[in-house]
Chain A
Amino acid sequence: GENVEQHPSTLSVQEGDSAVIKCTYSDSASNYFPWYKQELGKRPQLIIDIRSNVGEKKDQRIAVTLNKTAKHFSLHITETQPEDSAVYFCAASKRGGSYIPTFGRGTSLIVHP
């Protein structure tokens, strides 16, 4: 089955710095890669996603890049703010009947004011 590795497990930055989280996946059939932000005890919230036919996608301060050949994708957050502090999960999905995501282990991002 699919295996998703996510690094780092913890990331501490100063407000205004950039943050980068990296993920690798193993199954070349995966074709959809969402990123979720989860605050403690809350639901995962989709913040950005990318499909396998696209190499990069940007939404304001957040961007995601995908390298299908190397099977890795990354989340970039610029101008970080304290409210960006949360756990971020990457996932790789492929179509079974439905689209089933395999999640990474998560990155705890801490943004210091």
Chain B
Amino acid sequence: AAGVIQSPRHLIKEKRETATLKCYPIPRHDTVYWYQQGPGQDPQFLISFYEKMQSDKGSIPDRFSAQQFSDYHSELNMSSLELGDSALYFCASSPGLDRYEQYFGPGTRLTVT
């Protein structure tokens, strides 16, 4: 079965640079979630989208922005990167806004040096 795809899988950036992470949800899933997971921590919800509109906003820094496109893929744009942004970034998709279950992608490991 098709799963959530994230790219790139690994990314190394320097402080103050920008990064773009991409997420391709499971086919026919219209809801996308983004999470940030620091070392040894639990996943923290950043933002979610449904039908190309922002649905909910969590602890996403103002330096980050995201959107969902017409093909339902989503991109997380991160600017003015800081050392503390180094983390695993997961995307998850769901078959609907009113559906409980979320399916996580493999994650993007971002390292900021």
Contact = CB atoms under 8 A, between A and B. Distances in A.
Interface string A78-107: 000000000001000101111111111110
Contact of A49 (B48, B55, B101): B101
A100 B45 contact: yes
Given A98-B56, A99-B100, A104 B42 contact: yes
Contacts of B45: 100-102
Contacts of A102: 45
A44 interface: yes
B42 A96 contact: no
A107 B43 CA distance: 13
A24 to B, nearest CB: 15
Given A43-B104, A43-B107, A98-B50, A103 B42 contact: yes
Interface in B57-95: 58, 88, 90, 94
A50 B74 CA distance: 28
Nearest to B43: A103
Contact of A100 (B42, B48, B103): B48
Contact of B100 (A34, A45, A103, A105): A34
Interface in A32-86: 32, 34, 41-46, 49, 51
B101 A98 contact: no
A32 B100 CA distance: 7
Given A49-B101, A106-B41, 12 more contacts: A34-B101, A43-B105, A45-B104, A46-B102, A49-B100, A51-B100, A89-B42, A93-B100, A100-B56, A101-B102, A103-B42, A105-B42
Give the 5 A-B residue pairs with the shortest CB-CB distance, closest first. A97-B55, A103-B42, A43-B104, A32-B100, A96-B56
